[in-house]
């Protein structure tokens, strides 16, 4: 009799069936929380991808930088600087052939290639982006890089050698633009997120 039960198998008890239904419900709840129809696997980041947030932030930063440069070129270039806060902050249009804040004017083509590489890396990283703070940080980097890259490609003296339009001139500091500001803010945010142990896929690790 015992051998027959071993071969045929004993039916599930009510408690076992209830536990099975409870586990299925937990899996379904986890799947709903992750925004997918599949149960969340162990170790897999939960939540929705933040690609839309990344590109929304990047588009806003890029548009703001582009519009500000158009206004500066049309209204401020070849005109006296405009004082915003006395001589502590003023708007002064200059053309910068170097990197951010005027460094490295002899390496314009190299900086153009670096900016293009940064854009490619961010686009590839977007496929596994689940963290909202990382999406904002990378969006700022992407928008800033696109803003200055546009100047490198389309402004004089030529393609990939164009001078970037800078106009924000604090006292005793280099002149910069909104793209530079977006890049710096994005970089600072990435450093803070790294110190906190938050990865782009939404997981948190502790060293």
Complete DSSP assignment for 12-26: PPHHHHHHHHHHHHH
Per-residue pLDDT at 14: 45
Task: Classify residue 96 by burial, with Cβ atoms within 10 Å: 0-12, 13-18, 19+.
Answer: buried
180 is catalytic: yes
Q: State how far the Cα of 181 lies from the Cα of 204, in Å rounded to an integer.
A: 28
DSSP string, 123-150: HHHGGG---HHHHHHHHHHHHHHHHHHH
Q: What is the pTM of this model?
A: 0.74
Active-site residue, from 27, 166, 201, 207: 166
Q: State how far the Cα of 204 lies from the Cα of 192, in Å rounded to an integer.
A: 13
Per-residue pLDDT at 42: 42
Active-site residue, from 15, 27, 87, 180: 180
166 is catalytic: yes
Q: State how far the Cα of 49 lies from the Cα of 58, in Å rounded to an integer.
A: 16
* pLDDT tens for the chain, residues 1 to 207: 444 444 434 444 444 444 444 444 444 444 444 444 444 444 445 578 899 999 999 999 999 999 999 999 999 999 999 999 988 999 999 998 866 555 555 556 777 788 889 999 998 888 889 999 999 999 999 999 999 999 999 998 888 888 999 999 999 988 999 999 999 999 999 999 999 999 999 999 876
Per-residue pLDDT at 112: 79
């Amino acid at each position: 009799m015992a051998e027959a039960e071993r071969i045929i198998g004993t039916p599930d008890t009510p408690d076992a069936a209830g536990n099975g239904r409870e586990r299925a419900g937990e899996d379904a709840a986890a799947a709903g929380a992750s925004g997918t129809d599949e149960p969340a696997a162990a170790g897999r980041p939960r939540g929705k991808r933040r690609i839309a947030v990344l590109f929304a932030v990047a588009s806003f930063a890029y548009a703001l930088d582009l519009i500000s440069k158009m206004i500066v070129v049309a209204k401020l270039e070849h005109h006296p600087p405009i004082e915003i806060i006395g001589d502590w902050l003023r708007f002064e249009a200059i053309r910068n052939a170097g990197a951010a804040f005027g460094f490295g004017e002899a390496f314009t083509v190299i900086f153009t290639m670096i900016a293009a590489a940064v854009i490619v890396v961010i686009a590839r990283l977007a496929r596994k982006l689940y963290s909202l703070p990382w999406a904002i940080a990378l969006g700022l980097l992407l928008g800033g890089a696109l803003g200055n890259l546009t100047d490198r490609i389309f402004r004089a003296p030529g393609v990939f050698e164009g001078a970037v339009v800078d106009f924000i001139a604090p006292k005793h500091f280099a002149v910069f633009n909104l793209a530079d500001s977006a890049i710096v803010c994005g970089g600072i945010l990435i450093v803070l997120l790294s110190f906190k142990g938050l990865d782009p896929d939404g997981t948190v690790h502790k060293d």
